[in-house]
């Protein structure tokens, strides 16, 4: 049993969906679960729609129309039979969303966001599933929300692993054994039956959750790149593909900003030793990258640049040492604001933290901490992480940059750069 995940770029228009069908045609003998994301940039558009709806802004009608006509174009390039049930079902989904927009927003913004933004995956998976069936790649569409149970932490749902695993293995697995299943990434459902999304770009994570529950043999993420590269080719022209990667290296790459895999994806796979293949839907014959326990890793440097970072320097007002007491106070403020720390360093009376620059969270954090500490905020900085580093590559990378902070272990060096 295998899990395939197709992201937004792989289904961004009719041609792209046809390409996906071409890939799947070669795997029809396998037991296959297909996880798809929203088409192209639909999720961004739905985010705007959710905001407009929540603010009761008339712009919602225009945004909705744009989303609808984008999908209409994809549909008209794919589906021939406009009298079919499946076609009607898709039309009805749009009507459902349109009707929702006419109601009064009655919950928190985050809840509203999830109820609206999740339509992207629903539309996409319905269209893909219908097209596949019409082109003889027989499959069954299933609602991921019936399988992935979460808490009610909207926009960043926490998975109830016990329940989710049980439902997937008891209810979904027998179906996948009989027939290819097409479902959605990014979404789950809370105990009170609200849609809860798993965080932006969360479809990779969904694929891993399904694979964990199914006890799958592998997960394949189909991307528009040949595999995991040792650096972002847009920023580093000499980037090369990595054939093999250990789980721990992959998790660090993802955590420190390599966008090719969502950071939460690795942990469930690692715990069941399920290999992850990253392959190109543009070059499906290519071997891609294998992430697994025994993957042979080349010892070449890997560079990850994470931009839009903030460097916070926190020092005690009364010259008290930054040790246990102060550290636990500081950490609790970070935990309270839910601001993840990417790098930290302490000295006798100061503590430095590099984190993602979520402006609202950083402002709230500064306000909280300023009662007891001097807090300096340095925005517009970049976090550069280099694994398996060597001096030659570091020298050329750092040329002309101001290093605000540096931290080294034997395998990894990190710089906060201005």
By CB under 5 A, name the binding residues for Mg ion: 8, 37
Q: Which does 185 bind (CB under 5 to 8 A by kind): Mg ion, ligand ASP, none?
A: ligand ASP
Give, in degrees to the nearest 5, the angle at Cα 79 between 73 and 81: 130
Q: State the nearest-atom distance from the C-beta of 410 to ligand ASP, in Å.
A: 34
Q: Which does 281 bind (CB under 5 to 8 A by kind): Mg ion, ligand ASP, none?
A: none
Q: State the nearest-atom distance from the C-beta of 91 to Mg ion, in Å.
A: 24
Which residue, 134, 162, 159, is CA-closest to 149? 159
How far from 184 is each of 4, 32, 58, 151, 288, CA to CA, in Å?
11, 14, 30, 18, 23
CB of 185 or CB of 188, closer to ligand ASP: 185
Site for ligand ASP in 41-60 (CB under 6 A): 43
Judged by CB under 6 A, the residue of 37, 149, 230, 315 near ligand ASP is 37
Q: State the nearest-atom distance from the C-beta of 413 to ligand ASP, in Å.
A: 30
CB 147 within 8 Å of CB 3: no
Q: Which does 200 bind (CB under 5 to 8 A by kind): ligand ASP, Mg ion, none?
A: ligand ASP
Which residue, 346, 272, 360, is CA-closest to 316? 346
Q: State the nearest-atom distance from the C-beta of 38 to ligand ASP, in Å.
A: 4
Measure the CA dihedral 72/77/79/82, to 10°: 60
Q: State the nearest-atom distance from the C-beta of 204 to Mg ion, in Å.
A: 9
Under the binding rule (CB under 6 A), the answer on residue 185 touching ligand ASP is yes
By CB neighbour count within 10 A (0-12 exposed, 13-18 middle, 19+ buried), where does 265 fall?
buried
Under the binding rule (CB under 6 A), the answer on residue 213 touching ligand ASP is no
CB of 121 or CB of 382, closer to ligand ASP: 121
- Ramachandran region of residue 259, left (φ > 0), alpha (ψ -120 to 50) or beta? alpha
Helices of type H across 13-118? 14-25, 42-54, 59-78, 85-102, 109-117
Q: What is the number of the residue whose Cβ is closest to Mg ion?
A: 8
Under the binding rule (CB under 6 A), the answer on residue 120 touching ligand ASP is yes
Which of the stretches 36-44, 80-88, 93-101, 230-238 binds ligand ASP when contact is defined by CB under 6 A? 36-44
Which of the stretches 103-111, 199-207, 303-311, 357-365 binds ligand ASP when contact is defined by CB under 6 A? 199-207
Query: Which string of b and e fits 273-311 if b means at least 16 CB within 10 Å?
Result: ebbbbbbbbeeeeeebbbbbeebeeeeebbbbbbeebbb
Q: Which does 120 bind (CB under 5 to 8 A by kind): Mg ion, ligand ASP, none?
A: ligand ASP
CB of 34 or CB of 314, closer to ligand ASP: 34
Joined together, the tokens standing for residue 16 give: 């792209």
Under the binding rule (CB under 6 A), the answer on residue 195 touching ligand ASP is no
Under the binding rule (CB under 6 A), the answer on residue 61 touching ligand ASP is no
Count of H-run helices and E-run strands, the chain: 14, 17
CB of 6 or CB of 334, closer to Mg ion: 6
Judged by CB under 6 A, the residue of 3, 8, 141, 369 near ligand ASP is 8
- Reported for 283-288, long-range contacts at CB under 8 A and 24+ positions apart, including other chains, are 283/226, 284/22, 284/23, 284/26, 284/222, 286/226, 286/227, 287/227, 287/243, 288/220, 288/226, 288/227
DSSP state of 84: S
Q: Which does 202 bind (CB under 5 to 8 A by kind): Mg ion, ligand ASP, none?
A: ligand ASP
Residues that bind ligand ASP (CB under 6 A): 7-8, 37-38, 43, 120, 185-186, 200-203
């Amino acid at each position: 049993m295998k899990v395939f995940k197709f992201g937004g770029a792989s289904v961004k228009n009719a041609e792209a969906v046809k390409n996906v069908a071409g890939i799947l045609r070669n795997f029809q003998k396998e037991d296959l679960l297909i996880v798809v994301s929203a088409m192209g940039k639909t999720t961004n558009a739905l985010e705007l729609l959710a905001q407009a709806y929540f603010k009761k802004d008339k712009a919602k009608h225009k945004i909705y129309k744009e989303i609808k006509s984008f999908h209409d174009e994809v549909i008209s390039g794919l589906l021939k039979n406009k009298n079919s049930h499946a076609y009607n079902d898709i039309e009805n989904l749009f009507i459902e969303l349109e009707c929702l927009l006419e109601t009064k927003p009655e919950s928190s913004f985050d809840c509203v966001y999830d109820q609206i933004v999740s339509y992207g995956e629903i539309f996409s998976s319905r269209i893909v599933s219908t097209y596949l069936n019409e082109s003889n790649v027989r499959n069954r569409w299933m609602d991921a929300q019936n399988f992935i149970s979460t808490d009610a932490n909207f926009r960043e749902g926490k998975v109830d692993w016990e329940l989710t695993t049980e439902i997937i293995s008891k209810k979904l697995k027998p179906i996948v054994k009989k027939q290819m299943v097409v479902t959605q990434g990014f979404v789950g459902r809370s105990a009170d039956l609200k849609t809860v999304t798993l965080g932006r770009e969360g479809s990779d994570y969904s694929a891993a959750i399904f694979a964990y529950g199914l006890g799958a043999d592998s997960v394949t993420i189909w991307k528009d790149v040949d595999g995991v590269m040792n650096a972002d080719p847009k920023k580093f022209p000499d980037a090369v593909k990595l054939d093999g990667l250990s789980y721990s290296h992959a998790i660090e790459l993802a955590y420190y900003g390599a966008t090719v895999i969502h950071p939460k994806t690795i942990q469930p796979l690692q715990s069941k030793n399920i290999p992850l293949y990253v392959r190109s839907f543009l070059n499906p014959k290519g071997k891609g990258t294998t992430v697994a326990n025994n993957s042979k890793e080349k010892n070449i440097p890997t560079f990850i640049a994470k931009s839009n970072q903030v460097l916070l320097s926190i020092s005690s007002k009364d010259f008290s040492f930054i040790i246990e007491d102060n550290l636990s106070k500081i950490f609790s403020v970070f935990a309270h604001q839910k601001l993840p720390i990417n790098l930290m360093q302490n000295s006798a009376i100061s503590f430095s933290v590099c984190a993602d620059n979520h402006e609202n969270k950083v402002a709230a954090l500064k306000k909280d901490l300023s009662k007891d500490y001097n807090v300096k905020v340095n925005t517009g900085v970049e976090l550069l992480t280099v694994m398996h580093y060597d001096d030659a590559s570091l020298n050329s990378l750092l040329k002309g940059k101001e290093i605000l902070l540096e931290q080294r272990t034997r395998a990894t060096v990190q710089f906060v750069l201005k």
